[in-house]
Homo-oligomer: A and B are copies of this chain.
Amino acid sequence: MANTRRAKTMKGKGKPAAKTGAAKPVKAQRRAATKRMVFAFEAGRADGNAGMKALLGGKGANLAEMAALGLPVPPGFTISTEVCTYFDTHQRRYPAGLEAEVQKQLGRMEKNLGRRFGDAKNPLLVSVRSGARASMPGMMDTILNLGLNDQTVQGLIAQSGNPRFAYDCYRRFVQMYGDIVLGLKPESKTEIDPFEAIIERKKHERGVRLDSELSADDLRELVGEFKAAIRERRGVAFPEDPYKQLWGAIGAVFGSWMNDRAIAYRKMNNIPESWGTAVNVQAMVFGNRGNDSGTGVAFTRDPATGENVFYGEFLMNAQGEDVVAGIRTPLPIADLERENPKIYGQLAKIRRTLERHYREMMDIEFTIEQGRLYMLQCRVGKRTGAAAIRIAVDMVRERLIKPAEGLLRVEPEQLNQLLRPTFVAAEKERAVRDQRLLTRGLNAGPGAATGRIAFHAEDAEAAAARGERVILVRIETSPEDIRGMAAAQGILTARGGMTSHAALVARQMGKVCVAGCDALLIDYAAGQMRVTGTDVALKDGDSISIDGTSGEVFLGEIATEPSEVVRVLVDRSLDPKHAPGYQLYDQLMKWADRERRLKVRANADQPDQCANAIAFGAEGVGLCRTEHMFFGEEKIGPMREMILAGTLEERRAALAKLLPLQRQDFEGIFREMGGRPVTIRTIDPPLHEFLPHAAAEQEALAHEMGIPVERIRERIEALHEFNPMLGFRGCRLGIIFPEITEMQARAIFEAAANVVKSGKAAEPEVMIPLVGHVKELQLQADIVRRVANEVMKEKRVRLKYAVGTMIEVPRGALTADAIAGVAEFFSFGTNDLTQTTLGVSRDDAARFLLPYVRDFEIYDKDPFESIDQEGVGGLMRTAVQKGRGVRPQLKIGICGEHGGDPQSVMFCDRIGLNYVSCSPFRVPIARLAAAHAALGVGADSGTKD
């Protein structure tokens, strides 16, 4: 990641490193370095460089890089991660020769600094820190001031002329060492830290309140009492020999790689155990040696906004831990310019050097010791989505990086932060303070929403019609609820996963959604919802707020605000000229579109969704689900008539009513899409989804249709399925009831003809779902093509259209060669393909899939969020190969939810798809992910094992 072209090696003494060295892959580096276990660094020279993170860990590699750049890094050395691996697999023994190496490096440090390790007069003190390849903040151990004992502390007193400082260093060292290396820790959760207990007792004895009020003598006594406690409780003596201290510390740091905390963290973050940690041994510098000393942390730009300002804070006469402890409040870095212009000037120069060198926003730690500046750490700085974009765009404009590099500086998922409404920050903080956080669910549809509870879709609609904001709260949602979902600000469900009906539809609509919120006990009959583990009982009409980005559910209202990008693109309430954040987004997207190979389409069922899709940059509709249209107020009636029809004639009569309504929908979509391709899927869900489930609704429908309610109930009973996912749906409907496909094809082509005759373009692609056998597709394609010809003849117009299929059951993928003989395009329905390939129902998977990923690491990620590349992905590759083998120009896309997942988008690029299609609000994310893919990101990733 970092540019190491200007790094200098220890051997080369200031000569630039050979380019090849920096570019060598880790394995080759490892091989070349097998004999070297210890890597030295000091200002101006280093054995390592920033490219050697695998071997030196992040901290060690960047220390080497900074040292080679000539920055004021205290001298030290890094023991490689390979030693850690050796240590772990050889009963905590070290490779032969390590001790001699360490000895040699200590000698070099002694020479460099003119101090000696263990010397009673002018002792060299060191820190021992872990540093793994990936950042594991707070997970591993650090020991400072190592080398102190009853003799050397006298030397430190002599050096510093400050006994209190020296004894404070000493007692801190004994305390850390006693804890980390010798294991003197609280024995139960209720016990306080034994060292802190001794300090408290001492302060009590002395009648003081603050540590800083303890005298040098008090601190000296503390050292003795600490050692006594260690001996007494751990049965070991504190080692006075600095070499013993050092090896104890090195062993503890290597050992910490395998402690429970570290193992748990690695699991959560997918960090392989085999990586190991490095150990950094470095000369101590002290920020607490008087008022000309100090310590600080800084970012080379503002990590929250990305603004190109030096951003950070510092504290004089303090050590890093004082800053963390929060006893004194650090000052903004700008104040340093006033307090110490020389040091600030040095720092500002280092800031420039690092940004030029790394061409990145860096996060640094520094210490000032008696007026001298030392650099202790540097790494790439974490940032918000907004900052990431601003930094990337600015750095391109500053010519630090190329646009392509700028693109790689923004994680596709970070764009989400730019698109979603959020709670007004202060209001949310207040809600948390007021303990209004009720529970958490799955963050299924990002953004923030607030409103009154509605338990029924109709109530939500009615309330919205009255101008109220509502949150639709359901055990789970079904297609019946769609209009209620559209009317609501957000959706909250007690059941269902990240790709449940609620989650899928919410994301497509751009609605906020918290799904699978187990703690909710919803009682529709009582119009009430309880929250397990609390006394809270909420009624219909009560206010709640949900955060679909975090999954949080709050009691009461919390004010929200739409994002700037949305105000420009969707609401059109903001002039782009006055939207600097939008302009940055727009610039980044332009670069992304220049790089990417994949086309990006949107899943959209209605003209308004199409408008959003285009605003977000969609190049077509990849999935128009015709069934969603059937839930429109005027359409559900004829649809139900169609389903309840007893004869072909009755069914045809109902379909005849639906035809003009569908035609109108399609016409609206074609006009909105302005000639971009529109993939329309013929009816897919099982018919029972369209019938009412509540007795009252059934009776109303019976009354409306003038038929006995028994007929409706019997039909619903007859349509009941054990596994509707694998039931009478998809093309199976169109094959048994060809008149439905015929009506839909007619609506599509008549709509297209009307648009074309009005002088506009329309390009329908008719997609047949759930095809497992080429004959299924053939039967349906025959109908579609026949109707297309009929309409073209009737309307005297020539239409450009295609007929293709979803690949969403394994048999479709396995026989893709035969299917490509009929299909003009494929679209992977990876939701269903994942369900069938894995044999997992996404609606029922929560009970085991979460532990599968979190506890058992069976899958790296939820396969419904990111494509299971080994299993499902293998079938996709097969389908692409077989399909293109028969029809080389076959257009292939994906229209499952995975189309909006960056890793999946990259996979789709890698296997040669033509486009991805996702919900409108994820189109920008897919565009950026596609650009990343074209730039080679993820090319070596794949299955973990």
Contacts and interface: CB of A to CB of B under 8 A. Distances in A.
A837 B811 contact: yes
What is the oligomeric copy number? 2
- Number of contact residues on A: which range applies? 35 or more
A766 to B, nearest CB: 20
A171 to B, nearest CB: 45
Contact of A773 (B728, B845, B858): B858
Given A722-B843, A811-B838, A811-B872, 17 more contacts: A722-B844, A724-B844, A726-B839, A726-B844, A727-B841, A728-B844, A735-B856, A735-B858, A736-B847, A772-B839, A773-B859, A774-B945, A810-B838, A811-B868, A814-B870, A815-B874, A836-B836
A139 interface: no
Given A809-B838, A858-B773, A735 B852 contact: yes
Interface in A746-784: 770, 772-776, 779
A832 B847 CA distance: 21
Interface string A111-138: 0000000000000000000000000000
A856 B772 contact: no
A851 interface: yes
A839 B856 contact: no
Interface of A: 721-728, 730, 732, 735-736, 770, 772-776, 779, 808-811, 814-815, 818, 832, 835-841, 843-845, 847-848, 851-852, 856-859, 868, 870-872, 874-875, 945
Nearest to A731: B848
Contacts of A776: 858
A772 B721 contact: no
A730 B845 CA distance: 13
Contact of A772 (B727, B857, B871): B871
State the 4 A-B residue pairs at the shortest beta-carbon distance, nearest first. Answer: A809-B839, A726-B841, A723-B841, A811-B871
A524 to B, nearest CB: 13
Given A722-B844, A726-B725, A775 B836 contact: no
Nearest to A521: B714
A724 B726 contact: no
Given A723-B844, A844-B722, A875 B732 contact: no
Nearest to A858: B775
Contact of A775 (B730, B809, B840, B856): B856
A839 B774 CA distance: 15
Contacts of A848: 728, 732, 735-736
Given A723-B844, A735-B852, A843-B722, A857 B811 contact: no
Contacts of A809: 837-839
Nearest to A848: B732
A880 to B, nearest CB: 15
Contacts of A858: 735, 773, 775-776, 779
Nearest to A728: B847
A475 to B, nearest CB: 10
Contacts of A730: 839
A732 B732 CA distance: 30
Contacts of A810: 810, 836-839, 871, 875
A113 B726 CA distance: 68
A809 B727 CA distance: 17
Nearest to A770: B839
Contact of A851 (B721, B736, B875): B736
Nearest to A500: B722
A146 B857 CA distance: 82
A728 B840 CA distance: 8
B721 A844 contact: yes
26 contacts: A721-B841, A722-B841, A723-B723, A726-B841, A726-B844, A727-B841, A727-B845, A730-B839, A735-B848, A736-B847, A736-B848, A736-B851, A770-B839, A772-B837, A773-B858, A774-B945, A775-B857, A775-B858, A776-B858, A809-B839, A810-B875, A811-B868, A814-B870, A814-B871, A814-B874, A836-B836
